[in-house]
Amino acid sequence: MPGVNLTHHRITVLLVDDQPIVGEAVGEMFAGEQDIDFHYCPDPREAIKTANRICPTVILLDLVMPQIEGLVLVRYFRANKATREVPLIVLSSKEDPRIKAESFALGANDYMVKLPDRLEVLARVRYHSRGYINLLERNEAYSALLQSREQLDARNKFIRKTFGRYVTDDIVNAILESPEGTQLGGEKRRVTILMSDLRGFTCMSERLAAESVLSIINIYLAAMTEIIMKYDGTIDEFIGDAILVIFGAPLKRENDAKRAVACALEMQLAMEKVNLELEESGYSKVFMGIGIHTGEVVAGNIGSDKRTKYGVVGQTVNLTGRIESYTVGGQILISEATFKNCAEILRIDNRMQVMPKGVKEPITLFEVGGIGAEFNVYRPLRERTELPKLKTPLPVKFTVLEGKHAGAHTYNGSIEKLVDDAAEVHAEFIPEHLANLKVHVFDREINLITDQLYGKVIECFQAAPAPSFRMSFTSVPSELEAFFCKIQDFSEKAMES
């Protein structure tokens, strides 16, 4: 058995007899036998101690001794834990059926008239010893198996407890219960992937202390992880404030796409509670976008012998990330492939065509507002609101982000209408729909309020009185929030104008 050392047993004979001449004669019988160790005890009162010390595989016991009668000693050997199962051969001076029967009744295994023939003694000692050694080895093997199992159970519990904090139970089970669980490699799977990200969190984190950033992320991830586990999603990894979740690997179910959508809806609903907790801790609100796509991936253990992780790779993963990048805070966008898997029970609030990088043809994305059937998870309808008009516009300058970096060109504009999380901007240049912007905001005296406002273009207007676009904020710095609160244009009168 790998990792377990079983004791190698030799034949060990213990003779208990008060006559040294018998001890010498029996010892001569075993002389020269390489597989047998012989021990002689002339004092029956020391027999139990000697047996406990040498661990015999067979005991030869004289029935007639002055200190202790042999039949009494048989009882002692059978009452002693260490010798309870050791084969016991009684030696008697004569063939007496009554004494023989009583010996067997007390637990003796064999009966010989002394002094027996050498070949007979060797044969009987080897026969009884081998039976006992086999029993010992079976017991030791069983004990070793139990010990190994206990060690394995303890190790598995440790792994589940430790790594269950970092990966899902499905991955831990796949590793522990499969002989190939830790081998590198993978297989093609059709899965549904959910990717979530906090809008503007990267910019927010640059203005916060490291412990504040971790505190916000931990509050957010704790709530999201609980929901993901509820819907049996496999958390592939946390990438800062982003979460990559797999539905369909390592365990595949018929309703993978539906569970992914229901999970996303409940995650968005949970953001209200997350933001309440953040506000109580003195932090600003955060908003999450979620993208979902269904397609083929290679799923399995990725890495090297030194470090391995369970994950998925392929174009499906990349496209999910692209879909998520089109979202604004509070939005869930799914691909057509995911839509087809659960269209009959979805509430679709909007649809759009986009042209992600690396895709030859435009794709249609669907904004999900709810899912029915056994899930029955719905978000409140997001009604389009008319933005209040400012009495005096706020000057802005903006650049279009290319990936995480600002573009080379800066454009002038002005915020004409404004609410807490969106603005309408008149500008000399109208960005593309869903473009990400970095905005500098100035007060009416052209003093810079912030250069850290981030947003996404959600509507474009080319008509009179001037070209404009509506922008949904993805990150609003605290100094700008305070400035907005001071603007008195947010009055009922301004709302009516």
* Whether pLDDT at 403 is above 80: no
**H or E stretch at 316:** helix 315-325
Q: Find the mean pLDDT for residues 199-223.
A: 83
Residue 154 lies in a domain: no
Give the pLDDT of residue 279.
87
Angle 118-163/20-30 helices, nearest 10 degrees? 70
The band of 399, judged by pLDDT with boundaries at 50, 70 and 90, is very high
The answer to whether residues 196 and 118 belong to one domain is no
Mean pLDDT score across all residues of the chain: 83
CA distance 247 to 190: 9
Span 317-342, average pLDDT: 93
Last-in-domain residue among 319, 348, 378: 378
Whether residue 152 is contained in a domain is answered as no
CA distance 225 to 207: 26
For 8-25, letters b (16+ CB in 10 Å) and e give: ebebbbbbbbbeeebbee
**What does residue 389 show for φ and ψ, rounded to 5 degrees?**
-85, 135
Q: Are residues 282 and 194 in the same domain?
A: yes
Q: What would the pLDDT profile of 6-21 be if each residue is shown by its tens digit?
A: 455 788 889 988 888 8
What pLDDT was estimated at residue 175?
Answer: 56
Q: What is the Cβ-side half-sphere exposure of residue 384, based on CA atoms within 13 angstroms?
A: 5
312 and 344 fall within a common domain: yes
Tell me which DSSP letter residue 56 carries.
-
Q: Is residue 70 part of a domain?
A: yes
pLDDT > 80? residue 169: no
**Encoded amino acid at 15, one letter:** L
pTM as predicted: 0.61
More confident residue, 294 or 102: 294
Query: What percent of the chain is modeled with pLDDT above 90?
Result: 29
Is the domain of 182 the same as that of 204? yes
Q: How far is CA 217 from CA 116, 212, 240, 274, 285, in A?
A: 86, 9, 8, 10, 12
Averaged pLDDT for residues 198-217: 81
What is the arithmetic mean of pLDDT over 202-227?
Answer: 85
Residues 235 and 369 both lie in one domain: yes
Q: Please tell me the predicted confidence (pLDDT) of residue 464.
A: 57
- Among 436, 460, 473, CA closest to 324: 436
pLDDT at residue number 306: 64
Let me know whether 353 and 427 are in one domain. Answer: no
Q: What is the mean pLDDT of residues 197-215?
A: 81
> Do 289 and 236 share a structural domain?
yes
434 and 454 co-located in one domain: yes
Peptide bond into 465 cis (omega under 30): yes
Instruction: Output the CA angle 382-386-389, nearest 5 degrees.
Output: 145
pLDDT digits (tens, 9 = 90+) for 256-291: 999 999 999 999 999 999 999 988 988 888 889 999
Q: Name the band, by pLDDT with cuts 50, 70 and 90, for residue 405.
A: low
In this structure, is residue 128 part of a structural domain? yes
CATH number of the domain that residue 105 is part of: 3.40.50.2300
In a domain, 453, yes or no: yes
Q: Which domain holds residue 119?
A: 11-138
Does pLDDT of 391 surpass 90? no
In this prediction, residue 5 carries a pLDDT of 43
| Nearest alpha-carbon partner for 407 in 453, 438, 448, 429 | 438
For residues 400 and 333, state if they share a domain. Answer: no
Inform me whether the pLDDT recorded for 493 exceeds 50: no
| Residue 101 shares a structural domain with residue 218 | no
Could you report the per-residue pLDDT of 74-109, keeping only the tens digit for each?
A: 888 888 888 888 889 888 888 888 888 888 888 888
Asked whether the predicted pLDDT for residue 59 surpasses 50, the reply is yes
Q: Would you say residue 163 lies in a domain?
A: no
162 occurs within a structural domain: no
In this model, does residue 201 exceed pLDDT 60? Answer: yes
Asked whether residue 5 is assigned to any structural domain, the reply reads: no
Phi-psi sector, 297: left (phi>0), alpha (psi -120 to 50), beta: beta
Are 302 and 402 in a shared domain? no
- Pick the last residue of a domain from 332, 349, 378: 378
Give Dmax over CA atoms of the chain in angstroms: 130
Q: How far apart (Å, rounded) are the C-alpha atoms in residues 352 and 458?
A: 11
Contact (Cβ atoms closer than 8 angstroms) between residue 88 and residue 55: no
Which stretch of 58-67, 143-152, 328-337 has the lowest confidence by average pLDDT?
Answer: 143-152
CATH number at residue 430: 2.40.10.220
pLDDT of res. 303: 67
**Which CATH number do you get for residue 356?**
3.30.70.1230
Q: Domains in the chain: how many in total? A: 3
Domain termination site, one of 352, 378, 404: 378
357-379 pLDDT, tens digit per residue, is: 777 888 999 999 999 999 999 99
* 181/295 same-domain check: yes
